Amino acid sequence: MVSRVIPVQPFDLVIFGGTGDLARRKILPALFRRFCAGQMAEDARVIGAARGDMNAAGYRGFARDAITEFDGDITMMEAHLARFLEQVDYVTLDAAGDVGWPELAAKLTGADHTRAFYFSVGPALFGPLATRLYDHGLASPGCRIVVEKPFGRDLASARKLNAVLAEHFDETQIYRIDHYLGKETVQNLMAIRFANTLFEPLWNSQYVDHMQITVAESGGVGTRGGYYDKSGAMRDMMQNHIMQLLCLTAMEPPAKYDPDSVRDEKLKVIRALDPVEPGDVVRGQYESTDTLPGYRNEVENRDTTTESFVALKARIGNWRWAGTPFYLRTGKRLRARASEIAVVFKDAPHSIFGADAGRHRNILTIRLQPNEGIEMGVTIKEPGPGGMRLVDVPLDMTFSEALGPQSEDIPDAYERLIMDVIRGDQTLFMRGDEVEAAWAWTDPIIEGWEAAGTQPELYSTGSSGPDDALALIHRDGRRWREIKP
Ligand code: NAD
């Protein structure tokens, strides 16, 4: 069913937190899809490990339900599913105690299998898990650990976590996951920039007026309110996902597409970021509507000052980007679920068509969701008689249309990233120093809010965010791109 699949070596993948929400919605369905694609060797094994008292048969039932629920119609794949489940096992284990570890050790196969441990548990257990793995002799030199977000909640905690992991694992064994990096379009951003000669000469402050990165969600915090209220948009989205998009958009061409060359260049971008002026950042909280609860009701905390929206103007102090602002925004309960990077080029230096032709700009849009794809806005003559009137039209390349049936085989982010872990490719994972540098940039913003004791600005559900976020860009004579599905 899939072309050009590169098989991976046999592996034992242990999912700590194997009965949790992430395992159910993302990890197990992703593994099943890779199995169907022929990427999982017959003796590869997936071992769920969690606190819950369950046997292997019970866990196979759990995995079957998860895959059936999140993988759409799998009636045609029933035989595949039965075979996949034969490769699934379970062990009851305490990540912070000693229960279950000898049983886990007994289930792991020999050195011919790549060993990967997925930390899909709460962040408080990341450190204890690393230590237990070492204490029980499972931290073999070739093994890998996959660490979920959040990686710390500030620079100090991220440093501490990096130090705990480094006690038992080399940096080459640590895979800090940011699923945005597994998205097809995000990797395409690198292909567009560095495999074409068309864009790179223009990719600088001489030709780019500004950049906009938007990650908009239409839903609220839902059942994740308890977690989210301790985090907020800055920690949950800006410090990691948006920062990664910013890095890939702004970085210099790496000498090679290999993990450290790419990550060295991303790190340079983060380190070149100027501190954000207090007037250049806006935070908001969504209000209740007639039918939907507001942020405060949803998180059941009337006094919370946690932001469900943040917009800011970032500046990168280097030769390439001095003078080109990067406007970044993310939030919940906005007009639509839409994420994109927009490269807004400068106006033509002189219009030979006169003032009546209007102001027209080239905008390159990289859409992350929905409908992953790339769109280049070009200005052409409006058809028909009656003089030279100009109009902007898109040169659209929606992947699903451009690539035809092949696009249906595009793996989702978790599929790609888990297989990269097994292959030992860290290019799309964050290095420890990158994470720390990102916190070093976001910490002062959060501390500034805390010190000022101000409230986030309220915004309406279905809007583009608070009014001050509009003002943030309007005062520079620019405007946000419309958030549309
Ligand atoms: P969850 O609460 O649904 O599941 C937690 C899992 O950990 C369960 O399997 C539970 O049995 C297990 N567990 C808890 N304490 C344990 C212990 N002492 N020993 C062994 N197992 C223990 O959490 P989740 O939503 O699946 O999230 C897991 C991790 O992934 C978290 O770090 C979270 O921040 C991150 N994450 C989750 C999502 C998501 O969509 N759910 C998205 C991104 C990142």
How many C-beta atoms lie closer than 10 Å to residue 394's C-beta?
A: 12
How far apart are the CA of 342 and the centre of ligand 1, in A? 34
Token code pair at residue 258: 């290999």
Residue 22 CB–ligand 1 contact under 6 Å: yes
Type and span of the H or E element at 376: strand 373-381
Q: Is 398 in a helix, a strand, or coil?
A: strand
Beta strands in 148-231 (DSSP E): 174-176, 208-216
Q: Whole-angstrom Cα distance, residue 67 to residue 27?
A: 10
Write the single-letter amino acid at 70.
F
* pLDDT at residue 361, rounded to an integer: 86
Residue 1 confidence (pLDDT) = 40
Out of 80, 168, 241, 474, pick the active-site residue: 241
- Name which residue sits closest to atom 40 of ligand 1, judged by CA: 22
Q: Please write the tens of the pLDDT for every residue from 468-478.
A: 999 999 999 99
Instruction: Write the pLDDT tens digit of every residue in 185-216.
Output: 888 899 999 999 999 999 999 999 999 999 99
Q: Does residue 220 register a pLDDT over 70? A: yes
How high is the pLDDT of residue 403? 72
Residue 3 has pLDDT above 70, yes or no: no
Residues 91, 53: Cα–Cα separation, whole Å? 8
Report the atom number in ligand 1 closest to the C-alpha of 119: 29
- Whole-prediction pTM value? 0.94
Residue % of the chain over a pLDDT of 70: 96
Of 168, 119, 179, nearest to 146 by C-alpha is 119
Helix (H) or strand (E) segment spanning residue 49: strand 45-50
Annotated catalytic residue 241: yes
Question: Which pLDDT score, from 0 to 100, does residue 406 have?
Answer: 64
Q: Is the pLDDT of residue 2 over 50?
A: no
- Give the Å distances, CA to CA, from 126 to 50, 92, 160, 326: 14, 17, 11, 33
Q: What percentage of the chain has pLDDT greater than the value 90?
A: 78
Confidence grade of residue 407 (pLDDT, cut at 50, 70, 90): low
Q: Which atom of ligand 1 is nearest to the CA of 94?
A: 19
- Burial label, 195 (beta-carbon count in 10 A; 0-12, 13-18, 19+): exposed
Q: At what angle do helices 28-36 and 413-423 cross, to 10 degrees?
A: 70
Name the residue with the closest Cα to ligand 1, atom 15. 51
Would you state the pLDDT for residue 73? Answer: 66
pLDDT band at residue 113 using 50, 70 and 90 as cut-offs: very high
- 412 pocket-lining for ligand 1 (C-beta < 6 Å): no
Rounded to an integer, what distance in angstroms lies between the CA atom of residue 387 and that of residue 214?
A: 37
The string of pLDDT tens digits covering residues 116-144 is 999 999 999 999 999 999 999 999 989 99
Report the candidate in 59, 131, 126, 139 with the shortest Cα–Cα distance to residue 92: 59
SS3 state at 389: coil
Between the CA of 421 and the centroid of ligand 1 the distance, in Å, is 19
Ligand 1 atom, smallest distance to 16 CA: 21
Distance from residue 228's CA to the centre of ligand 1 (Å): 14
Residues 6 or more apart from 321 whose CB is under 8 A from it?
Answer: 204, 205, 250, 272, 315
Average of per-residue pLDDT across 99-109: 94
Q: Is the CB of 100 under 6 A from ligand 1?
A: no
Q: Are strands 208-216 and 326-331 parallel, antiparallel or unpaired?
A: parallel
* CA-angle at 228, arms to 226 and 229, nearest 5°: 70
DSSP-based three-state secondary structure for 193: helix
314-369 residue pLDDT tens? 999 999 999 999 999 999 999 999 999 999 999 888 888 887 776 788 999 999 98
In the three-class reduction of DSSP (H, G, I as helix; E, B as strand; rest coil), residue 324 is classed as coil
Q: Is 314 in the pocket of ligand 1 (CB under 6 A)?
A: no
In the reported structure, the alpha carbon of residue 274 is separated from the centroid of ligand 1 by a whole-number distance in angstroms of 35
User: What confidence tens digit (pLDDT) does each residue in 221-262 have?
Assistant: 988 899 999 999 999 999 999 999 999 999 999 999 999 999
Look over the chain and give the mean of its residue pLDDT values, rounded to a whole number: 93
| 121 CB near ligand 1 (under 6 Å) | yes
Query: Residue 4's pLDDT is what?
Result: 63
DSSP state of 316: B
Question: For residues 119 and 133, is the Cβ–Cβ distance under 8 A?
Answer: no
Question: Does the beta carbon of 98 lie inside 6 Å of ligand 1?
Answer: no
Instruction: Please give the C-alpha separations between residue 45 and each of 12, 114, 414, in angstroms, as whole numbers.
Output: 5, 10, 17
- The pLDDT value given to residue 276: 97
Could you give the CA distance from residue 191 to residue 197 in angstroms, rounded to a whole number? 11
Q: Is residue 15 in contact with ligand 1, taking CB distance under 6 Å?
A: no
